[in-house]
Amino acid sequence: MNWKEILGQVFLDGGPSTCQFAITNACNAKCGFCSFSREHSPKADSVQNFGPVGLNSSADAVSSSSGPLGLAKAFPSSTCESLPTAAPACEQAVSQVTPTSNPSTKPPVSPKTLVQLSPGLNAIDCLYRNGVRFLIFTGGEPTINPYLEKFMQHAQELGMESLVVTNGSTLSPEKVEGLIESGLREIIISIDSVDPQVSENNRGLPGVTQRIVEANKIFADNGVGRVASVTLSKILGDLTLLPQTLKSLGFQAVTFSFPLVKLDSNYLGYKDSDLVSYTPEEMHKLIDDVMDLKKSYAVLNPSASLEDMHRFLDKKPQEFPCLGGFKQFYLDWNLQLWRCCNWRRPMCHVFEFNGSQIIRDGCTECMIDCYRDASVMQACAVSLADAVHAACFNRWSLCAKHLFNMSNMRSWGAVLESSHWLDNL
Ligand code: SF4
Ligand code: SF4
């Protein structure tokens, strides 16, 4: 995707969309603040499927390059396997399912599942036809899905950009080369503490630090961006020491994830744990600390988004509404498409996605950084598209209102703050 195409989409409808594609709900780590953890599966029988390939042993997970591929054999049949493999007519399909504000019960937890090749490729086609140009492959641990590289190659052929979020444990030199050859532009690796030993212990992945250092060297030699993803938790340690740690590991920038103790979708990247339980006062202090860190290291969370986080904690109206369901989406391992990781019900199956399910309701229900940070950066593009549409109908005062406001300036500021990220893409 080039800048010309991006600009065209900006004028048309506010720019390209982004989808977080969770290509598995399995993980080989045991992070204390995450329910994807190998030790926190709600279905003990499905966890036992890890046994034969040794991913209950963290040492195996780190040292065996065949482990991730072998894992597929140990999985129960994915529900995705039974999905149609012919190119779906997702443009024609119309789903009547739209999220409502009515509370509904939390969806049942899925058994461990890998998105299979053919349905995964078709899902990417459907996303492409609906304006998604940035794919963030996530999980669980996405690198244990043996089709990850195939999905990335397909996305690249379509002109989409791929990012991968990983715990780093499977990044052998061969795996790294494979990801680079498949068009990887940016790798996002989770780090839990300024002390690498504390990070390894929390993950239950001994040796993962050295693996990350070696992988980052190869990524750097090939011009792949390297971003650390750090959850704000009580094992993080002295934040002022973080830049030193991240530089020694070969990272260029950091993005912080705010603690999540509950999510309303089927996404399990949360846990009601003391490690991530903070009072509002403690959260205010942490946000200020993150803001301070911007002076000494590349922090990708926009300042405007951090300011909105303060407002959210104070229960005040926020400046930037979330674009989840409009410009950002979450696709799960059963290929259900959601507006975000925190909505109560899916929008539709991805094969039914045809644009009619789009939601633009100015939601500010939560402050999940993945959606809110991106929304702040895309707000100026959406305003520009709104102004163009208003001008098309000769509504000049509305057009001017969309163009000339302080929020646009702050959104542009957020784009500039993240210029490192955008440069890589
Ligand atoms: S935080 Fe990431 S690496 Fe840790 S258990 Fe959750 S999905 Fe796995
Ligand atoms: S504010 Fe939260 S719940 Fe609302 S769309 Fe965004 S991520 Fe989802």
Tell me the C-alpha distance between 409 and 47, whole Å: 49
**Residue of the nearest CA to atom 2 in ligand 2?**
366
Distance 307 CA to ligand 1 centre (A): 27
**Residue of the nearest CA to atom 5 in ligand 2?**
324
> What is the model's pLDDT at position 261?
87
> What is the model's pLDDT at position 420?
65
Token pair belonging to 160: 């989409």
What are the residue ranges in the chain where pLDDT is below 70? 1, 40-110, 420-425
Q: Decide: 167 in ligand 1 pocket, CB within 6 A.
A: yes
* Ligand 2 mutation pick, 365, 369, 370, max ligand atoms within 8 A of CB: 365
Q: Decide: 343 in ligand 2 pocket, CB within 6 A.
A: yes
- From the CB of residue 388, how many other CB atoms can be counted at a distance below 10 Å? 17
Q: Which fold has domain 17-365?
A: TIM Barrel (3.20.20)
Tell me the C-alpha distance between 144 and 149, whole Å: 11
* Ligand 1 mutation pick, 37, 40, 202, 233, max ligand atoms within 8 A of CB: 37
Distance 27 CA to ligand 1 centre (A): 6
Distance 421 CA to ligand 1 centre (A): 23
Q: Decide: 37 in ligand 1 pocket, CB within 6 A.
A: yes
Contact between 46 and 161 under an 8 Å Cβ cutoff? The reply is no
> What is the model's pLDDT at position 99?
36
> What is the model's pLDDT at position 272?
87
> What is the model's pLDDT at position 69?
29
Which strand (E) or helix (H) includes residue 371? helix 369-392
Distance 34 CA to ligand 1 centre (A): 6
Q: Are strands 17-22 and 184-191 parallel, antiparallel or unpaired?
A: unpaired
Tell me the C-alpha distance between 1 and 14, whole Å: 16
> What is the model's pLDDT at position 423?
62
pLDDT in tens, 289-305: 999 999 999 999 999 99
Q: Decide: 368 in ligand 2 pocket, CB within 6 A.
A: yes
Distance 348 CA to ligand 1 centre (A): 26
> What is the model's pLDDT at position 6?
80
pLDDT in tens, 379-423: 999 999 999 999 999 999 999 999 999 999 999 999 988 776 666
> What is the model's pLDDT at position 76?
36
Contact between 158 and 209 under an 8 Å Cβ cutoff? The reply is no
**Residue of the nearest CA to atom 5 in ligand 1?**
37
Distance 371 CA to ligand 2 centre (A): 7
Distance 365 CA to ligand 2 centre (A): 6
- From the CB of residue 44, how many other CB atoms can be counted at a distance below 10 Å? 7
Domain positions in the chain are: 17-365
> What is the model's pLDDT at position 352?
97
> What is the model's pLDDT at position 13?
86
Q: Decide: 324 in ligand 2 pocket, CB within 6 A.
A: yes
DSSP category for residue 299: B
